[in-house]
Amino acid sequence: MNTNSYPSITLSSEQLSGRIAVVTGASSGIGAATGKLLAMRGAKVALMARRKNLLDQLVTEITASGGAAFAFEVDVTNQASVDVAAQAVADKLGVVNLVVNNAGIMLPAPIVEGRTEDWVRMIDLNVTGAMRVIGAFVPVLIQAAGDGQPADLVNISSIAAQYVFPSFAVYSATKAAISHLSRHLRMELGPKDVRVSMIEPGIVATELQSHVTDPGTLDWLVSSKKTMDWLQPEDIAEAITFAVGLPKHVNLQQVTIMPTRQV
């Protein structure tokens, strides 16, 4: 008989008590839902995005429900903006031990259209922007882990990192970069007790779809809504919160989340 006891996972409001979290892309969608749920579970949350007015509204909603959240206007495509925000979070909240690297954009189109400005936007935000956040906060996560705290870097990727979709070549390449980057970072940071997780959702009902202008992709999106229930941002937030709430010796490295009917 195995007499070893395994720590139970509680989903109470105290689950993440003592955690200090940063969530990028927090003004809507997955970022907003994750910020709300982390705060509900007891974390102090630094919400980061460009749209400060939406962040302020979210802070009001979270604090009214008894959570702790703070808004930081950040453009992750600007190194100085990220550096200033990282210092502001340190001054306001202390040592960050949880980062959800979520900011991103999706602008699919056939490659022959040569939408170079869209390619640059996706690469700069989805890849370089994510790296700016990693560069700013990984040393802090290592510090937190060294102090005996759980420490997590969660990178939001996509099933586009694994699958092949028409018109998604550049977007998919950016997400493949994030997924493979996460695998490498786990090898570097795991021995320092920093967990690295990548979340690869299927189609989620967020603002990303509102940025799409490619007619073929728009037709597919309309059609898919008739044949499947899309994931909701709250579904992804639940998975993230579960992963970072596990005992600190457990690293849920890769989570692929799909609508049941999406193939």
Question: Could you list the active site residues?
Answer: 171
260 and 228 in contact (C-beta within 8 Å)? Answer: yes
Work out the burial of residue 220: count CB atoms within 10 Å of its CB; fewer than 13 is exposed, 13-18 middle, 19 or more buried: middle
**C-alpha neighbours within 13 Å on the C-beta side of residue 13:** 8
- Reduce the DSSP state of residue 160 to 3 states and report it: helix
Q: Which of 14, 22, 30, 4 is nearest to 238 (CA)?
A: 30
Q: What's CA 24's distance to the chain center, in Å?
A: 7
Beta strand pairing call for 98-101 and 68-73 = unpaired
233 and 191 in contact (C-beta within 8 Å)? Answer: no
Distance from C-alpha of 20 to C-alpha of 192, rounded to nearest angstrom: 19
Distance from C-alpha of 263 to C-alpha of 259, rounded to nearest angstrom: 8
Distance from C-alpha of 247 to C-alpha of 6, rounded to nearest angstrom: 9
Phi, psi of 150 (to 5 degrees): -65, 140
